[in-house]
Structure 1
Amino acid sequence: MAGRLDSVPNRRAIIDRRALSDSIAALEGDEAALRQQVVALLKAALEAGRAEIADRLTLNPSRGLEAASAQAFLVDQILRLTFDFTTQRLYRLGNPTAGERIALLGVGGYGRGEMAPYSDVDLMFLTPWKQTGWVEQVIESMLYTLWDLGLKVGHSSRSLDDMVRMAQNDLTVRTALLESRFIWGDQALNDEGIARFHREVVAGTDKAFVAAKLEERNERHRRMGDSRYVVEPNVKEGKGGLRDLHTLFWIGKYVHRVDSVAGLVDAGLLTREELHQFQRAENFLWAVRCHLHMVAGRAEERLTFDYQREIAERMSYANRPGKSAVERFMHYYFLQAKTVGDLTGLFLDHLDEQFARPGRRFTLAAIPRRPRKLNGFKLVRGRLALPSDDFLEQDPVRLIEMFALADKHGLELHPAAVRAARRDARLIDAKVRRDPRANALFLDVLTSPRDPETVLRWMNEAGVFGRFVPDFGRVVAQTQFDMYHHYTVDEHTIRAIGLLAQIDRGALKAEHPISTAIIRHIVSRRVLYVAVLLHDIAKGRGGDHSVLGAEIAQQLCPRLGLSPAETETVAWLVRHHLLMSATAFKRDLSDFKTILDFAEAVQSPERLKLLLVLTIVDIRAVGPGVWNSWKRQLLTDIFEGAEEVLRLGHKQTGRKERVEAKQRAVAEGLGWPDADFAALARRLPEAYWIAEPIDILEANARHVAAAGDQQLSIAASVYPERGATLVTVYASDHPGLFYRIAGAIHLAGGSIIDARIHTTQDGMALDNFLVQDPFGRPFDEASRLERLKAAIEDALANRTRLPERLAAKPLPRVRAEAFPIAPNVLIDNRASNRFTVVEVNARDRPALLHALAYGLFQSKMTIHSAHIATYGERAVDTFYVTDLIGAKITSPARLKSLEKRLLEAAEGTAGEKAAA
């Protein structure tokens, strides 16, 4: 990789080693004084060199490889100067013995000649035999000098025998040595080390090395999220990142002894075009990594939201209609990550061909049985292959048929077929898209009872999917710049289809019993699959993606062969695919009008079934940790309530029966005398029995019974089904109770993720809160639970100055602050017959709920229920309120005043104005 360093332009402007060497030679003094002066000189040179590289990257922000090579060149010169100073001035030997020789080698990334600004300097001090006293002095002195310079040094000192033995036994050492590069010292010793490494370590171990590196890569992917489309990617270690490119080169170098990436073409592992793609992706990823280090001021490898915006600006991305600069930057990032994934797949398939014995496979499973009808395609080692290079060109419909056959027979694709598909995808034109045979084959893949997720992902990576459905092509690698979505739009969609197929097969029955049961009774499976495909297809277009997506559905569904009735249903599902989750998570389901309004929008039991399954797979495909039992319960409640209305008409027929069924279940669980339970049931309103699940109803009943005549009783326990702590407050109801509890929970370090507020018939508040710590985990230690209860008790007893303590508590939300969210207050008097519904959208932050609740208290509102929903950085808090005498808020002046006060609370300016 020395050639890469040689290509760095105007290297002397980065660091002038000769001039520095002359300056060091002119220094005088004892050892300590000399060392101090040299460190000062080298530190100034290092800082000046880094500044020069940073300036160059600012002027040419996409030249990543040049910046990475320049960093390595700068460190090379610092190391050479340090080595010469140490061996010629501090520990000069007049007549060195054969054992008093040192070769200084760069290993790992530094050995490859690539460094980000804050990368580790990985060194190996190579000696012929066991270290002499002089060698130990030199190594120790050099390390102290490098540490004084502020460099983070990873080092080892080994004899030739040690090097060979450790490389034979340790894959990490072997990989690091594979890219070793001579920096300075004894050249002959370095050459001997290289010869022994290839002769005694590499020879005859190709297969073992490849297998080990592939397993290492798979484990790294599992650790990093196993997708190249996570929206906060790790540039170095993540799937589709630099490490994947490095792995390809390591394997090529180990197996074919190539010295550069270009050598992979001669080895037959990459074509010229693929080499160009490799180099373009590598250059871009290095540019991002260098900018990331500079912005973070440290060795940061994760491209988090708060860095994405700044790096997009540094790399000269600009806003465009419908897409911000940061979204355009991340879109290009994911296109490059996709390229890395495509190259990796082809590369590994070629290795498979090279290493496999006849009739066998090297990296993959055994060859499946041979299917009979392949319509002209053929099998090569159990993989679907082309009979000739122009086979797809003869009939471009075969580009779709190839994937349909792979799905139908459970086959994988031959690397040559994948390469041909990628090359010939451009042949998919309007004529092919209109072809009934092509559309039928595509629909077969989409609705496959086998594994549509895998085959659709293959189609996407080959570029065939986006060419056949151009609207889908527009969302390939389309990022969603928020903290809620974990994947790009295309990856989210394909994962959702995979989850749908699993529910369809009954594989998720334990997690989704209702969906698994009702999917068997859905009239048109393909309506559901097409709706999942299209639900986010219009994202990034600058309008409401649900409305625009419905328009796309109206055009695309007939082409795919769907009937007018099916087309209408798909369009409705796409238009309303957020309706069920928005209603379930942001509205009070115990208010029967909520169910009536939802049922009126859905209109038919069939749509309700379709919408439930679509909603579930959409939420689950957002990312890990987003789906939970609480959301399952809410969706079950709204489904059962709406099904009842749609089946029986707009009568509250089943509500009483449902309350009675819950009461019977709770009574059975408690085992109380009938009279005692009947007395409790009379105290609690019907809405309470509807709103709470049975386990919380039982816990509340025991709590109330234990409290007796106390005016305040607080319970806190871990609620594992929700991954949170359940906090129950039983207290004499009075205005301001809710905001005081919310503030106290924040002061105790908690975050409220759900709140359900109830008032008994005799004026006691029974409030249930689900609380997590700042890391999204429950409070589970006894001491923390006690602290939580004590904080609430102090707040309700006025033993603490709540506003002052909240003002003094810092509210750090750096990542959320990367997103511009204008607060919005929506007030609806039609959503409930009894309450005014207030919905506040704002950037999530600690104590937001307290601020909003305090705003409602100041406005003389009574909160009857609160529903807290968080979508990454965005909080949507909904309150069902009345005035102090239990009436809706209808006065325009009062509504306007309420809106203003809540906007100030959401913005965080209410406290400032009060202080002023």
Structure 2
Amino acid sequence: MTAAERASRAAAADELCQRAFAEVGCPETGVALVAVGGYGREELAPYSDLDVVLVHDPEVAVGDWAGAVWYPLWDSGANIDHSVRSVPEVLEQAGADLKVALGMLDVRHLAGDPNLTLRLRTAILAAWRRDARQRLPELHELVRNRGRLLGELAHDSVPDLKEATGGLRDATVMKALVATWLVDVPHGELESCRQALLDVRDALHAVAGRGTDRVTPEYWSDMAPLLDLPDATAVQKHTRGLGRRLTHLSRLTWRRVDSVLRRPAKNPASRRPQLTTIGNGLAVAYEEIVLDRDAQPSRDPLLLLRAAAEAAERDLVLEPTTAARLVAEVPALPDPWPAEARDLLVRLLAAGRGLLPVWETLDEIGAVATFLPEWERVRLLPHASEVHRFTVDRHMVETCIEASAMIRRVARPDVLMVAALLHDIGKGQLTEHCVAGEPIARDIARRMGFDERETELLAGLVRWHLLLPETATTRDPEDPATVDLVLKHVVDREQLELLATLTEADARATSDKAWTTWRASLIRDLVRRVAAELANFPVVEDDRHGVEVPDAVRADPGRVEVGVVEHGDGSSVTVMSGDRVGLLADAAGMLALQRVSVRAARAWVDGEIGVSVWQVARTGLDAAVLRERLARIVEGVVDPAARLGRVDKEALAPTVTVRPEASDRATVIEVRASDRPGVVYLVCSALARLGLTVTSAHVDTLGPQAVDVFYVQEANAGALGDRRAAEAAHAVRAALTVPAAGS
């Protein structure tokens, strides 16, 4: 099954058409017989129809020959799709019907007047290019509707080689997009995938004995020898891999089309991309993440993950040649990973729908294997169960997308997102996949730099990710033994929250049938019963990191001391001064104005001195500059709120929870919000405006989420009453939701 065989079939059909044209005495001037569609491209499968049009100039009167030309073709046994049209009629029909226009783009001369065919082809292409900006949005909607109706070639259980997303129709559409001259695609990659998929269709026709584009399960094995592949599994992986590559190319091309259509039709600017630097060696060009001019990939092992995270979070394309260069030049990550690498991966995984196209780019160029070689175990692996709508690898990515909308439910979104990515990593092994996946996940977690407790937590989530649905649907919820079964494997509320959230994300990513209202209610009832048996997760109140207050600061509480200590890929910033309402807010504002990413922070009161230690993701900070910035905030010269950006309307809403059980001496307020500059400042300043003192703060940035715990007291008066606690929670929630003043 080769391109040569397809060309041979087309040549035989050409000869048949030419003989028929000559036999019936068609005029040789002003009339032409042309092939369109797949026949026009000389891509006939064994049972393909012949799409032909008899075209004539308006001045040529149509005679009996116009009907007689089809009889020899019918007598030959060929399946033909035919019509007779004048040139203006063809152009009018192509202008009214996109499907006709796409077919006519491949018009090829068969017999008759070649000049007429040339004029027709020229007019069709000119009209296509002239009207492209008006027609492409409609074409894009047709492509999307077809995908919604027929699914993806890479994942559907009975894939359609032609009409499914990533099928031959998409390849034809991409050629049509290139013909507009508005965008380009990697021609070599598109053509190789298209030809290989045509080989698969030829094999399908051969084993089916008829013209069909749908591959039912019984055909895979018989197609293997025709494609020189060992077995049905190999044919499936080969076919689905082609579909995925074409899907990726199609999505990338349409993103570029949309970007072009948003720009003015006549742009006097240079055709060279206009770079907008976003820092750390990266830039944006035409809605794609590319390398900045001064980027040095060979010196930055984090640049690949950083580029991917930026693209996914901004919902931009990770430009494929940029990604390929990063794979070739970026050094391997150390073992274990630095904290920033893990944070970038979590940000990528938690980016929502922006993750999918970026992950596809990474996967297609082999980038995933550079930081997660275990991915090859599940790549393009079909699920054994038909309830799954995706292959194993795509299902894991979809689980991440579902989990990203639920990170406010858990205190450890970093663990949740990595567990979502790895929960089915044991698929394809001889043993049960939950059992097989646990040691794999444990090894990956250690390599990523998770500590021992986090590693065991993550491995446990992979091992027991089916525990809740299996127990909830097969055991009596009223029986105490049902809860005891879960408690054998779930030790605290934190683990239960993670497991419940992973369960829902996994089910939603599987199919609509996997997360019905009934199943959801059973699982949630079980989680409620288990939670009632577990003690609340304790919050550590004091962690002073061995910091001592200098005598000079104790002697002069009005003095402000700022110190910076660098370590590896970040710094520790210590702030000390006489304790007062608003001190922590001012320190947080100082860092927010420097656009410093806070990874963690601790604050406490030592005698009369307020102390805070901030772990930040930057080196090269100048203590004197920070001290000067803090002084200007304290004096009221600079208002940090006026300089903070607006709240992203698309971001998940913050959650603010009062935890009365967590402390007897203070009111504990837990805040979960999207990580961005100024989160801690906004919280602390909102509390300060209420005259409340933050006696201890525990700040952690976990991937895309800040999980911050604040111990709050009335000034010199202990824990808050219920009314004041509710007032404080409301003020914090409002501060994190309303756009910053002056922004």
Range of TM-score over shorter length? 0.5 to 0.7
Q: Is the 8 A contact 1:360 1:381 kept in 2?
A: no
Aligned-pair CA distance for 1:158: 0.5
Q: Aligned in 2, Cα 1:646/1:552: closer, same or farther, shift over 3 Å? A: same
Per-residue deviation, 1:184: 1.9
Q: 1:186 aligns with which of 113, 116, 120?
A: 113
Aligned match of 1:215 in 137, 141, 155? 141
Deviations 1:498-519 (A, max 9, x none): 11112336xxxxxxxxxxxxx2
Whether the 8 Å contact between 2:472 and 2:522 is mirrored in structure 1 is yes
Q: Report how far residue 347 of structure 1 moved.
A: 4.1
CA contact (8 A) 2:31 2:116 kept: yes
Cross-structure match for 1:234: 160
Q: Give SS of 1:305's match.
A: coil
Corresponding residue number in structure 2 for 1:170: 97
**Is the contact made by 1:577 and 1:611 (CA closer than 8 Å) also made in structure 2?**
yes
How far does residue 348 in structure 1 lie from its aligned partner after superposition?
4.7
The aligned runs of 1:548-627 (5 Å cut-off) are 548-587=436-475, 589=477, 593-627=481-515
1:112 alignment counterpart? 41
Instruction: Give the structure 1 partner of residue 402 of structure 2.
Output: 499
Which string of whole-angstrom CA distances, capped at 9 and with x for unpartnered residues, describes residues 294-338 of structure 1? 2223332122323233323543433xxxxxx33332223232223
Q: 1:133 to 1:357 in 2, by over 3 A?
A: closer
CA distance 1:162–1:217, shift in 2 (3 Å): same
Q: Which of 311, 327, 350 is the matching residue for 1:425?
A: 327
Q: Could you report, residue by residue, the CA deviation over 1:778-832 in whole angstroms, capped at 9, with x for unpaired residues?
A: xxxxxxxxxxxxxxxxxxxxxxxxxxxxxxxxxxxxxxxxxxxxxxxxxxxxxxx
Distance 1:220 1:399, change over 3 A: same
Letter of the 1:163 partner, please give it. V
The answer to whether residue 305 in structure 2 is matched with residue 400 in structure 1 is yes
The yes-or-no answer on 1:296 pairing with 2:208 is yes
Query: Amino acid of the residue matched to residue 110 of structure 1?
Result: Y
Q: CA, structure 1 residues 328+449, in 2 after alignment: closer, same or farther (shift >3 Å)?
A: closer
Distance 1:288 1:463 in 2: 24
- 1:103 is aligned, of 32, 35, 48, to 32
Alpha-carbon displacement from aligned partner over 1:627-667 (angstroms, at most 9, x marks no partner): 3223223323433444455579xxxxxxxxxxxxxxxxxxx
Residue 72 in structure 1 maps to residue 72 in structure 2 = no
Note the 1:481-880 alignment, pairs <5 A.
481-504=384-407, 519=409, 522-587=410-475, 589=477, 593-644=481-532
Q: Deviations over 1:124-171 (max 9, x none)?
A: 11122277463xx33433434444544332222111222222223332
Q: Which runs of 4+ in 1 moved over 6 A?
A: 352-356, 358-362
Task: Kindly state the Cα deviation for residue 497 of structure 1 after the two structures are TM-superposed.
Answer: 0.8
3-state DSSP class of the match of 2:218?
helix
The structure 2 residue matched to 1:337, chosen from 243, 255, 263, is 243
Q: What letter matches 2:38 in structure 1?
A: G
Distance 1:176 1:307, change over 3 A: same
Residues 48-59 of structure 1 aligned to structure 2 (within 5 Å): 57=1
* CA spacing shift, 1:246–1:329, aligned 2, 3 Å: same
Secondary structure, in 3 states, of the residue corresponding to 1:484?
A: coil
Give the direction of change, closer, same or farther, for the CA distance of 1:587–1:315 in structure 2 (3 Å limit): farther
Structure-1 residue corresponding to 2:369 = 466
Q: Secondary structure at the match of 2:387?
A: coil
TM-score normalised by length of structure 1: 0.53
| Equivalent position amino acid for 2:40 in 1 | G
Q: Distance in 1 between matches of 2:16 and 2:294?
A: 53
Matched, 1:374 2:291: no
Shift of 1:242: 1.5
Q: CA deviation at 1:574?
A: 0.8
Letter in 2 for 1:171: L
2:56–2:85 CA contact under 8 A, matched in 1: yes
Conserved 8 A contact 1:352-1:361: no
Give 3-state SS (helix, strand or coil) of 2:163's partner.
coil
Could you list the per-position Cα deviations for residues 537-566 of structure 1 after superposition, in whole angstroms to 9, with x for gaps in the alignment? 132233332222111222121332322111
In 2, the alpha carbon distance for the partners of 1:147 and 1:615 equals: 59
Query: Match of 2:232?
Result: 326
CA contact (8 A) 1:349 1:414 kept: no
Tell me if the contact between 1:120 and 1:151 (Cα under 8 Å) persists in the aligned partners.
Answer: yes
Q: Map 1:139-288 to 2 at 5 A.
A: 139-198=66-125, 201-202=127-128, 204-225=130-151, 228-255=154-181, 269-270=184-185, 274-288=186-200
Aligned twin of 2:348: 445
Unmatched 5+ residue regions in structure 1?
1-56, 58-62, 257-267, 319-324, 506-518, 649-916
Distance 2:397 2:353 in 1: 14
- Distance in structure 2 (CA, Å) of the matches to 1:549 and 1:248: 39
* Cα 1:573–1:392 shift into 2, 3 Å: same
What residue identity is the alignment partner of 2:158? E
Q: Secondary structure at the match of 1:479?
A: coil
Aligned equivalents of 1:573 and 1:241: distance in 2? 36
Give the aligned partner of residue 612 of structure 2: none
One-letter amino acid of the counterpart of residue 393, structure 2: D
Distance 1:336 1:97 in 2: 43
- Matched letter for residue 184 of structure 2: L
Cα distance in 2, alignment partners of residues 535 and 559 from structure 1: 17
Amino acid aligned to 2:208: A
Matched-pair contact (CA < 8 Å) for 1:377–1:385: yes
Question: Structure 1 252/371 Cα, relative in aligned 2: closer, same or farther at 3 Å?
Answer: closer
Q: CA deviation at 1:211?
A: 4.1
d(CA) in 2 for partners of 1:104, 1:607: 71
Cα distance in structure 1, aligned partners of 2:353 and 2:169: 33
Deviation, structure 1 residue 492: 0.5
> Does the CA contact (< 8 Å) of 1:451 and 1:501 recur in 2?
no
CA RMSD of aligned residues (A): 3.6
Q: Deviations over 1:41-98 (max 9, x none)?
A: xxxxxxxxxxxxxxxx3xxxxx3x333333322322332333333x1xxxx58xx696
Specify the code of the residue in structure 1 equivalent to 2:108.
R
What is the number of equivalent residue pairs in this alignment?
A: 531
Q: Percent identity?
A: 27
Q: Structure 2: how far apart are the matches of 1:245 and 1:454?
A: 18
Task: Verify the 8 A CA contact 2:50 2:81 in the aligned structure 1.
Answer: yes
Task: Please show how residues 326-365 of structure 1 align to structure 2 within 5 Å.
Answer: 326-348=232-254, 357=263
Kept in 2, the 8 Å contact 1:496–1:617? The answer is yes
Deviation at 1:536, TM superposition (A): 0.9
Q: Is the 8 A contact 2:465 2:499 kept in 1?
A: yes
SS of equivalent residue, structure 1 residue 621? helix
Partner of 1:538, secondary structure, is coil
| Alignment pair present for 1:412 and 2:316 | yes
Q: CA deviation at 1:181?
A: 0.8
The letter of the residue matching 1:405 is E
- 1:374/1:405 contact within 8 Å kept: no
Q: Secondary structure at the match of 1:421?
A: helix
3-state SS of 2:109 partner: strand
